[in-house]
Amino acid sequence: METRGNVQELDRRFLSRTIELAKSAFSKGYSPVGCVIVDRENNILYEAESRRLIGTISHAEMFALLELQRDNIPDWGMGLTMYCTLEPCLMCMGMSLIARISRIVWAINDFWGGASRIYKFDHPYLVSRKTEFVSAPFLDLERIAQEMWMKYLESTGHAHMTLAVLGIEGVECVSS
């Protein structure tokens, strides 16, 4: 299964919102991740920001998906799109697939713990979910998110992880 996916007109708007949420999380000392879940009519149903510190599971996607579950929507996430700043990890991707989210779009790839590095997207279970995956469709938003992650990794003493997480090296962090 191709992870680039079909880029849609409104993807930029919703990914931009995840970046706003990520900036808010980062300003509070948490990992810079935001998540937005949108319905078929392009209404934002749920949004969340990370409350994750290194080594915890308070991921933005998890909060948004738990809200979806609490609302007890029939057929869960069928027809819904989940937008994330960072490629979902195994846990969040797994929850998204169980929730039957139809489409998952992220601003930057996670070369360290992103699910697309580990899952076999041609596995019958994943194919049966019919989820579309769209990775890093906008270079400008990818750069903004990368900058936040570089600052976050530096501020938490994990600057050496920049290559592993973001797949980039030799990029200087620019102050905003």
Please state the φ and ψ torsions of residue 3, each to the nearest 5 degrees: -95, -10
CA atoms of 110 and 115, how far apart (whole Å): 8
Please state the φ and ψ torsions of residue 162, each to the nearest 5 degrees: -55, -45
- Hey, is 23 helix, strand or coil? helix
Q: Are 82 and 100 in contact (CB under 8 A)?
A: no
CA atoms of 132 and 103, how far apart (whole Å): 5
| Active-site hit among 47, 49, 61, 147 | 61
Residues sharing a CB contact under 8 Å with residue 10, sequence separation 6 or more, in sequence order: 38, 42
For residue 34, what are its two tokens?
């935001």
Please confirm, yes or no, whether 20 is among the known catalytic residues. no
Q: Which residues form the catalytic set?
A: 61
